[in-house]
């Protein structure tokens, strides 16, 4: 009634004015009143739309996942015939309030709880969207530089599917994709964040400087803390033939030491990337190079993720070549099979470390709300496949991994 009452008053006022004009015929007066009524109806509809657009439109979803793994490098696992475990429960919240969008995801694992992402967005124009919060770092092939459950080897060095805290701008101009982002620190608050355990996170970030000469081990907590700070990301890509994206990514930022040490170095990275879909065939290629240039000249840095501490070379180059084939099928509840082979190589490591190589052959299975990865992994010096990026192991390790999830 609060909206209708003023409109009725306006109608009465205008109708009185129309009837008071003696120069108009009765037919003209009726036509004039009809125009005024139609305009008032239009105004009322617009008011209702404006009120409706301010109502929150929130969608809640999520997933629950389980995993089987058989590892030839783990004697206890082999003796048991592999292990079947609960993997993840996650909750997704996405929606909008007026022109403001929001997106967040929280995950529960057996050994940690983490924020995957959480940001508020605003569409400034038809071409530009801004996001503030914990957002994906715009670097390399998006959203992933991989097909398999294990991502690429670059993920474990922090250059795939990384999330940090800051501001991201996304520009779309026809075939041009422009992304500019500034991250004050990582998703755990950087070196001075309040998180009790810096390893409880989804994506890999540096957490310290390695001191092997001082007796630190590859998986030890670092004695000297360190975190990312004031990082600028630039990413540009162009879409050729409507199915092939070619782009370049750049990253540059500071490294801050703990206990008030201030800047202890800087980090840079760049990548050339290609992503194409030709009918049912998918192709991904990426060349990447990263460097943590530390003032003390260290050849290794400590990283944290997935509730444990690891080590990566301070400098390295990586190559990725991924092929996939998507096939629509009707096998019971199964509607799609995507076959893939992801090849990864990390080389030119600081300290003369051996290369990391990983090849993943697998198939992704879609069946209604169920999605599964079946992966056979062959690798050396690869995290989660019996190694580490700073390893010097000549042995090839193998893992059969089946991850099954229900998404709602």
Task: Say if residue 40 is in the same domain as residue 184.
Answer: no
Task: Say if residue 64 is in the same domain as residue 183.
Answer: yes
Q: Chunked in runs of 10, what are the mean pLDDT values of the chain (408 residues)? A: 45 48 64 74 68 79 98 97 98 94 97 97 96 98 98 98 98 98 96 87 97 93 96 98 97 95 97 98 98 97 97 98 98 98 98 97 97 98 98 96 98
Task: Say if residue 244 is in the same domain as residue 303.
Answer: yes
Predicted pLDDT of residue 11? 43
Task: Say if residue 23 is in the same domain as residue 129.
Answer: no
Predicted pLDDT of residue 115? 97
Predicted pLDDT of residue 8? 44
Task: Say if residue 21 is in the same domain as residue 31.
Answer: yes
Give the pair of three-digit tokens for residue 306. 């997935």
Rounded to an integer, what distance in angstroms lies between the CA atom of residue 40 and that of residue 42? 5
Predicted pLDDT of residue 31? 72
Residues 121-162: pLDDT tens digits? Answer: 999 999 999 999 999 999 999 999 999 999 999 999 999 999
Return the closest-CA partner of residue 198 out of 303, 283, 117, 270.
303
Predicted pLDDT of residue 227? 97
Give the pair of three-digit tokens for residue 403. 């991850």
Q: Rounded to 5 degrees, what angle do the CA atoms 64, 68, 70 make?
A: 160
Return the closest-CA partner of residue 255 out of 218, 222, 215, 219.
222
Q: What are phi and psi of 49, to 5 degrees?
A: -65, -40
Q: What is the rounded (10 degree) CA torsion for 205, 209, 213, 219?
A: -30
Q: What are phi and psi of 215, to 5 degrees?
A: 100, 5
CATH number at residue 113: 2.40.160.10
Task: Say if residue 37 is in the same domain as residue 125.
Answer: no
Task: Say if residue 9 is in the same domain as residue 87.
Answer: no
The single-letter DSSP state of residue 300 is E
Widest CA span of the chain, in angstroms? Answer: 102
Residue 268 CA from chain centroid, whole number = 20
Task: Say if residue 16 is in the same domain as residue 148.
Answer: no
Cβ atoms 7, 44 nearer than 8 A: yes
Task: Say if residue 170 is in the same domain as residue 41.
Answer: no
How many CB atoms are located within 10 Å of the residue 280 CB?
Answer: 12
Give the pair of three-digit tokens for residue 304. 């944290």
Predicted pLDDT of residue 6? 47
Predicted pLDDT of residue 50? 61
Q: Which helix (H) or strand (E) holds 8?
A: helix 4-20
Cβ atoms 70, 79 nearer than 8 A: no
* Plot region of 41 (φ>0 → left; ψ -120 to 50 → alpha; else → beta): alpha
Task: Say if residue 22 is in the same domain as residue 71.
Answer: no
Predicted pLDDT of residue 130? 98
Task: Say if residue 66 is in the same domain as residue 206.
Answer: yes
Residues in the chain: 408
| Boundaries of domain holding 13 | 1-53
Task: Say if residue 87 is in the same domain as residue 5.
Answer: no
Cβ atoms 80, 68 nearer than 8 A: no
Q: Which helix (H) or strand (E) holds 250?
A: strand 244-257
The residues near 305 (Cβ < 8 Å, ≥ 6 apart) are: 156, 199, 201, 202, 203, 204, 205
Identify the burial level of 184 via C-beta atoms within 10 angstroms of its C-beta, where 0-12 means exposed, 13-18 middle and 19 or more buried.
middle
Residues 301-312: pLDDT tens digits? Answer: 999 999 999 999
Report the DSSP pairing between strands 397-407 and 370-380: antiparallel
Rounded to an integer, what distance in angstroms lies between the CA atom of residue 351 and that of residue 363? 36
* Structural domains of the chain, count: 2
Predicted pLDDT of residue 51? 60
């Amino acid at each position: 009634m609060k909206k209708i009452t003023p409109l009725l008053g306006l109608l009465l006022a205008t109708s009185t004015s129309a009837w008071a004009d003696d120069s108009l015929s009765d037919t003209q007066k009726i036509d004039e009143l009809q125009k005024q009524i139609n305009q008032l109806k239009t105004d009322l509809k617009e008011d209702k739309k404006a009120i409706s657009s301010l109502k929150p439109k929130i969608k809640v979803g999520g997933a629950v996942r389980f995993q089987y793994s058989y590892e030839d490098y783990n004697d206890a696992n082999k003796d048991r015939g592999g292990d079947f475990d609960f993997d993840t429960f996650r909750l997704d919240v996405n929606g909008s309030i007026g022109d403001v969008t929001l997106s967040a995801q929280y995950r529960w694992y057996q050994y940690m709880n983490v924020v995957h992402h959480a940001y508020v967005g605003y569409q400034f124009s038809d071409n530009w969207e801004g996001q503030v919060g914990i957002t994906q770092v715009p670097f390399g092939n998006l959203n992933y530089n991989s097909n398999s459950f294990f991502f690429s080897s670059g993920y474990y060095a922090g250059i795939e599917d990384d999330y940090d805290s800051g501001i991201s701008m996304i520009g779309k101009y026809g075939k041009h994709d422009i992304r500019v982002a500034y991250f004050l620190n990582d998703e755990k608050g950087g070196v001075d964040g309040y998180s009790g355990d810096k390893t409880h996170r989804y994506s890999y970030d540096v957490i310290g400087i390695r001191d092997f000469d001082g007796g630190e081990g590859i998986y030890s907590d670092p004695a000297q803390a360190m975190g990312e700070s004031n990082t600028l990301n630039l990413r540009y890509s162009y879409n050729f033939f409507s199915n092939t994206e070619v782009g370049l990514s750049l990253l540059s930022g500071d490294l801050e030491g703990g206990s008030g040490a201030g800047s202890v170095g800087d980090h840079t990275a760049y990548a050339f990337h290609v992503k194409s879909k030709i009918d049912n065939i998918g192709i991904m290629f990426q060349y990447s190079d990263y460097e943590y240039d530390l003032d003390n000249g260290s050849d290794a840095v400590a990283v944290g993720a997935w509730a444990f501490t690891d080590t990566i070379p301070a400098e390295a180059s990586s190559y990725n070549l991924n092929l996939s084939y998507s096939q629509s099928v009707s096998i019971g509840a199964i509607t799609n099979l995507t076959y893939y082979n992801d090849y990864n190589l990390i080389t030119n490591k600081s300290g003369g470390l051996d290369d990391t190589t990983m090849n993943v052959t697998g198939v992704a299975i879609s069946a209604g709300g169920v999605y599964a990865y079946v992966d056979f992994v062959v690798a050396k010096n690869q995290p989660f496949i019996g190694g580490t990026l700073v390893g010097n192991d000549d042995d090839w390790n193998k893992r059969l991994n089946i991850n099954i999830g229900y998404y709602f």
